Amino acid sequence: MSLPIIWWVALLLLAVQLVLWKSRAGTFLWTLVSCFSFWVFLRFGFTVPVPQSVISLYMGIALLAAAAYVTSSRDRLEGFTGPLVRLCTEPARRPLLYAVVLLLPALAAFAVYRQMNVKLEAPAFGRTIHPAPPDSITVHDKALNLTTLDNPYRTLEKSDPPAFASHVANGRRVYYENCFYCHGDALRGDGMYIHGLNPIPTNFADAGAIALLQESFIFWRISKGGPGLPEEGGPWDTAMPAWEKFLTEEEMWDVTLFLYEFSNQRPRAREGVHE
C-alpha cells in the first residue's frame, strides 16, 4: 500500500503522541515534543518543499498556541515550569544544567556558522561565444570595414602558391611565438596556461569552430582580443590579449591563414560571395 507522505508523517506523529500519553508525560515534555512534531510535519510532511518563511510563520503561531495552552491554568503552568525550576535548583541536576548552559550557545553558534558558511560561487554568466563583431574597427590607425574586409593574402593561394606558403610559414612562427601557450601545440585549445583560464580557448581543430567564421571575424578577435568583445561576449573573463599591441597587421593576417591551414579548414565565405 502506498500512502501519500503526509499520511506517513501524520501516523508517526500520532504514534509519538500515543507513547507520551501512555507514559503519562508531563506538560513540559509534551509541549516540547508537540512543537517539534509540528515542525517535523511542516518540514517533511509535504512532497513540495515548504518555504522557510512559511515554516517560521506557522511555527510562530504554534508557539503562541502552546504558550496560551500552558498558561491557561495554574496546574499546567506549574507542570511546565516544574522541570525547569528543578533543573536550576536541585544540586543533583547540576551536570545537566551545565550541559544545557553550554549547549544552547554552542548550538546557536553552530547555526550562525552554517548560515555564514555558504559556498562562494561565481555569478552565472551566459556568454555568447561568437558575438556579432562591430561594423568597423581601427587597427594601427587604419579604419577597417569588417563587413567587406577580406584577408589580403588569401588570393595568393591560387595566384602565387609559393608566396602564400611563405605567409603561412610566417603565421606559424607568429603562432608558436605567441599563441600556443594558451591555444595549444595542435590548436586544440589545450595550452599549458589553460588551467588558469575561464573561459578556455575553443578547439580550432573542431569542424564547428573557425570553419563557421569569416577571416575578418578571426582578424577582429586577434587584433582586439578580450578587451574588444562586446558586453554579451563577457569581456571581463577572457584572457585573450589584444594582439594589435604586439603584432603587425600582416602578422595577424598570416597567423589567421595558419590557423586554417594547420587545422585543415576553410574560412566561411561572405554571404553573396562565391569563390
152 cis-preceded (ω within 30 degrees of 0): no
**Is the CB of 66 or the CB of 194 nearer to ligand HEC?**
194
Residue 251 near residue 213, CB atoms below 8 Å: no
Residue 204 near residue 243, CB atoms below 8 Å: no
Q: Which stretch binds ligand HEC (CB under 6 A): 16-24, 30-38, 195-203, 260-268?
A: 195-203
Regarding 222 and contact with ligand HEC (CB under 6 A), the answer is: yes
Q: How far apart are CA 62 and CA 253, in angstroms?
A: 74
**Is the CB of 83 or the CB of 241 nearer to ligand HEC?**
241
Q: How far apart are CA 87 and CA 79, in angstroms?
A: 13
Selected binder of ligand HEC within 30, 243, 253, 260 (CB under 6 A): 243
Regarding 201 and contact with ligand HEC (CB under 6 A), the answer is: yes
Q: Which stretch binds ligand HEC (CB under 6 A): 18-26, 60-68, 76-84, 192-200?
A: 192-200
Q: How far apart are CA 216 and CA 213, in angstroms?
A: 8
Selected binder of ligand HEC within 130, 140, 245, 268 (CB under 6 A): 130
Contacts (Cβ under 8 Å, ≥6 apart) of 187:
175, 203, 204, 205, 259, 262, 263
Regarding 199 and contact with ligand HEC (CB under 6 A), the answer is: yes
CA gyration radius for the chain? 36
Selected binder of ligand HEC within 137, 168, 179, 257 (CB under 6 A): 179
Regarding 209 and contact with ligand HEC (CB under 6 A), the answer is: yes
Regarding 164 and contact with ligand HEC (CB under 6 A), the answer is: no
Selected binder of ligand HEC within 216, 240, 253, 254 (CB under 6 A): 240
Residue 33 near residue 20, CB atoms below 8 Å: yes
Looking at residues 2 to 61 of the shown chain, list those that interact with ligand HEC (rule: CB under 6 A).
none
Q: How far apart are CA 217 and CA 149, in angstroms?
A: 9
Q: Using CB under 6 A as the criterion, which residues of the chain lie in contact with ligand HEC when the complex forms?
A: 130, 174, 178-179, 181-183, 193, 197, 199-202, 209, 218, 221-222, 226, 238-241, 243, 255
